[in-house]
Amino acid sequence: MINFAKPGVEQFFQTLTVSNFTVSPDEKQLVFGTNLNGHFNLWAMDLPNQFPYPLTFNNQSAAFLSYAKTGEFIIAGFDHDGDENAQIYAVSPQGGTFYPLRQHEGERHFFSHLSADGKRLYYPTTFGNTTYFNNYVYNIETGEEKLLLKGEEAPTFIDAVSPNEESFVAIKQYGNTHSVAYAHIGEEKFLLTPETTEQHTVTGISYTSDSEIYFLTEYNADLTYLAKFNLATKEFSIELQLDKEDLIEITYSKKNNSLYLIGSYGVEDRLYEYKLENGELNALKAPTTVIDKLVVASSGNLYVLGRNATTPGNIFISKNKGTTWEELTHYRVPGVSQEELVVPEVLTYPSFDGMEIEALFFRAKAENANGYVILWPHGGPQALERKTFRSMFQSLIYSGYSIFAPNFRGSTNYGLKFSKMVEGDWGHGPRLDNIQGLEWLIENGYADREKILLLGGSYGGYMALLLHGRHAEYFKAVVDIFGPSDLFSFIESVPEFWKPYMEQWVGDPVKDKERLTKDSPITYLDGMTKPMLVIQGANDPRVVQKESDQIVAALKEKGRQVEYIVLEDEGHGFSKKQNEILVYGKIIEFFNQHIAEGKPVV
């Protein structure tokens, strides 16, 4: 009898995933972004066959992906090694060399719409308007281009175009929690939501006809709901509100005369069909706990890219409106059974001011557990941790570490008011939510006060630095992945189109000098006494390398123990498998080393 050796943690590093997808109009070809060869490229399957073949070889992930309704080509956006300056290309369904459509070196392009005949491309870009965007329509056949809308006051982008292309909706983005939308018809424009001084957002624009526009908003509410604007009558109406649930995505099916809605409150998604003819709402069975993308084909078939806590991103199809699902890709952790992976427990605890905070606790299995708990403050900060797969999490859990991931104030999917609580308060309320969460874990037997570690990326990296500087007594060792270290230099260095948001989101360097100083991790160098590992992408446009360079240099000058890894071919994340393997392996090695030593280095 053959007895295979117990899988090592390295198995988790080899886990592959799907990042994006699109489907041909005849549903004979599924095109998706995946790191099957260690780098993200476009691959395809000729349905119903499920054997993949490569389309692109540029080793870059697709920022956006959409199949032309004519079936002649695929629209894709590629940047360079994580710099986020996506250029627009046409990719042949047969793959190979792709055709550049709109390119401007050092500028960022977005995708809005491709006309039904595949001839006109609508897109926003930083080219010529770095801060607020210019919006163009480009004729692919003739090469003619027309400026449709010049952004002013706030970043402005066309989000949807009517079927007859006689109107479009543009969103003016004042911040993560404040956006308004206008329908443009010729020289006229109409606000989709009634005038108000109260901030809200408008997202998910969908034309169901030339005169009816459905969208999602929290206008006069805390949770996002389905609304409609009638272009003929210029009337706004509320169509569907759910109790204690945000609607986060909307997709129209002409075939089914339905809107498919993704709803969420907290750590899981739900899927619905909303019938336009009678307003009937049906809950559908979703194939995964988190849905990353939904496509409804012209046939009415549903395609979903989603993840569970124990499975990475995969694509599913339903041919019966969500009654049953077939998995088209089948990515798993190689060599590791589902039973060896961990589904998180959902916890709630009262914070320092009595506010209820929801959190996930990934408990290491008894046979692996080493007794240590890692605090993971999520990125964003207006995002959240969910019941979704992270190979980094599962590899750490398999190595014996439990993980605590609180959705502190400022997290999304808990209502607009909760999400806004981080605005102008990056370092007080959220910080204390994390600390109170640790105290609750300790009091309730989830964690040992002497066995806590700290790991975070992006805003979570910032929080890891701040918690280290102000509350080092809680932690044995700290890992920061591309976290801002100084809020003043962070505000100055973000992409130009972020800068209009910064005063509300983070603060004003002059008016809020005292608070920004208090909330900047670099203020607390004297408190950062524990071993640190800092990881940074050299091409990161969001949190530039200077943010990590300066904190590492300052700590080394004080004689602190700091290891520093700069990834020359990455941005704000890990797009290449060899870099992911390097980073995850180093994090585990770093934690293993310092729990073995059992004492801080001062």
Residue 190 confidence (pLDDT): 97
Residue 117 confidence (pLDDT): 97
Neighbours of 41 (CB within 10 A): 22
pLDDT digits (tens, 9 = 90+) for 430-460: 999 999 999 999 999 999 999 999 999 999 9
Give 597's pLDDT tier (boundaries 50, 70, 90).
Answer: confident
What CATH number should be reported for the domain holding residue 569?
3.40.50.1820
| Rounded Cα gap, residues 321 and 302, in angstroms | 7
DSSP 472: G
Query: Is 454 within a domain?
Result: yes
Longest distance between any two alpha carbons in the chain, whole Å? 78
| Rounded Cα gap, residues 562 and 51, in angstroms | 46
Two structure tokens written together for 245: 């649930």
Q: Are 84 and 75 in contact (CB under 8 A)?
A: no
Listed residues 125, 140, 155: the one ending a domain: 140
Q: Give the H or E element holding residue 550.
A: helix 545-557
Q: What is the CA 176 to chain-centroid distance, rounded? A: 13
Query: Is 499 within a domain?
Result: yes
| Rounded Cα gap, residues 447 and 349, in angstroms | 14
Query: Is 548 within a domain?
Result: yes
DSSP 476: S
If one counts the domains in the chain, the total is 2
Residue 242 has pLDDT above 80, yes or no: yes
| Rounded Cα gap, residues 581 and 353, in angstroms | 40
Q: Are 231 and 167 in contact (CB under 8 A)?
A: yes
Query: Is 528 within a domain?
Result: yes
SS (H, E, C) 102-134: ECCCCCCECCCEECCCCCEEEEEECCCCCCCCE
15 burial level (CB within 10 Å; 0-12, 13-18, 19+): buried
Residue 600 confidence (pLDDT): 43
| Rounded Cα gap, residues 237 and 150, in angstroms | 29
Listed residues 140, 161, 189: the one ending a domain: 140
Residue 602 has pLDDT above 70, yes or no: no
Query: Is 171 within a domain?
Result: no
Query: Is 478 within a domain?
Result: yes
Contacts of 173 (CB under 8 A, 6+ apart): 154, 155, 156, 157, 179, 501
Two structure tokens written together for 134: 């210019």
Strand residues in 474-521 grouped as ranges (E): 478-481
Query: Is 207 within a domain?
Result: no
pLDDT digits (tens, 9 = 90+) for 395-411: 999 999 999 999 999 99
**Strand arrangement, sheet containing 120-125:** 113-114, 120-125, 134-139, 145-150
Supply the range of the domain harboring residue 399: 338-597
Phi, psi angles (nearest 5°) of residue 293: -160, 140
Give 598's pLDDT tier (boundaries 50, 70, 90).
Answer: low
Return the residue matching tokens 């994006």. Answer: 20
Residue 458 confidence (pLDDT): 97
Query: Is 411 within a domain?
Result: yes
Listed residues 109, 140, 171: the one ending a domain: 140
Residue 601 has pLDDT above 70, yes or no: no
What CATH number should be reported for the domain holding residue 34?
2.120.10.30
The dihedral built from the CA positions of residue 554, 559, 562 and 566, taken in this order, carries a sign that is: positive
Strand partners, 207: 213
pTM of the full structure: 0.95
| Rounded Cα gap, residues 472 and 286, in angstroms | 42
Q: 520, 524, 493: which is closest to 426 by C-alpha? A: 520
Q: Are 81 and 575 in contact (CB under 8 A)?
A: yes
